[in-house]
Amino acid sequence: MNIVETEGLGRRFGSTWALRDCTLTLPEAQLVALVGPNGAGKSTLLNLVVGLTAPTAGKVSVLDGRPAGSPDALDGIAFVAQNMPLYRHLSVADMLHMTRNLNRHFDTAGAHRRLDELGIPARKRAGKLSGGQQAQLALTLALARRPRLLVLDEPTASLDPLARHDFMATVMTAMADEGVSVLLSSHMLAELERVADHLVLISHGQVRLDGAVEDLLADHRLVSEAQSHRIVRLSATDGTLPLTGESRAVGIEELALSYLRESSAPPLTLAGAGR
């Protein structure tokens, strides 16, 4: 089953296209990493997936064909934005009570259990929690809805390394224990190495790279010749690399940065080259 499908999807604000010609098929039960520079169109794509905005062109469906923003779709999606949408004057317990009343499905007992395990006091005001605790509270509220798709828009951008690690550990546990699919927008390229199954790279409002991480990394090599280094994309598998010099495998961070630096064209493609 596909958790997100888009076809020719676009969103324009005035005369400016924030996203255009976006066609994606994202499989379930995976962590899909969405990367790109600020203003690339990542948040626009996430808002379209969640149903917070309507497309100017094309179409988007979620959860194996449900129209984005429809009641059936909304029941199966939870969204955590970068600014952690919490009422900071309310206590943690009040936040749980309010969120439960706003949703048709909410696992109150599970939410209390998760917060107890994290050491987050129910009586403390949300605004008095640390940044990491606020992120964990927002994530707990989202997971308590028992979503099939969890959408995360730069949720760890303002957190310290330990808080980021703990946040992602909670996400990975939810994937393993509850079968949640995750669509994660992030600038933390190095940290995606250990968690991402699928990579989508957006630049200037268009998809530049899309595929399973394992396949994308296998299809690219970093080639060193004299004083130059360049990532090349291999288009076949005849067992040869028709360049002098040395080559090695690349990681997600190197691959993403290479495509982002090449604003007008992707890294060199070697026709008939192998790994």
Tens digits of residue pLDDT in 201-242: 999 999 999 999 999 999 998 888 766 778 888 864 444 555
Rg of the Cα atoms in the chain: 20
User: What percent of the chain lies above the pLDDT cut of 70?
Assistant: 90
Alpha-helical runs (H) found in the chain:
42-50, 71-75, 92-102, 108-118, 131-143, 161-178, 189-192, 213-218, 252-261
Structural domains of the chain ordered from first start: 2-209 (3.40.50.300), 219-270 (no CATH)
- Partnered with residue 34 across adjacent β-strands are 185, 200
- Range with lowest mean pLDDT among 44-58, 77-91, 130-144, 257-271: 257-271
Please choose, from the candidates 185, 176, 182, the residue with its C-alpha nearest in 3D space to the C-alpha of residue 147.
182
What CA–CA distance (Å, rounded) separates 211 from 199?
Answer: 6
The helix/strand count (H/E) of the chain reads as 9, 14
Residue 267 pLDDT grade (very low, low, confident, very high; cuts 50, 70, 90): low
The model carries a pTM of: 0.90
Please determine, for residue 152, whether its predicted confidence score (pLDDT) is greater than 50.
yes
What CA–CA distance (Å, rounded) separates 84 from 250?
Answer: 33
Q: Using N-to-C axis directions, what is the helix angle for 108-118 and 131-143, rounded to 10°?
A: 160
Supply the pLDDT for residue 200: 98
- Partnered with residue 261 across adjacent β-strands are none
**H or E segment to which residue 57 belongs:** strand 57-62
The pLDDT tens digits for 34-72 are 999 999 999 999 999 999 999 999 999 999 999 999 999
Supply the pLDDT for residue 274: 42
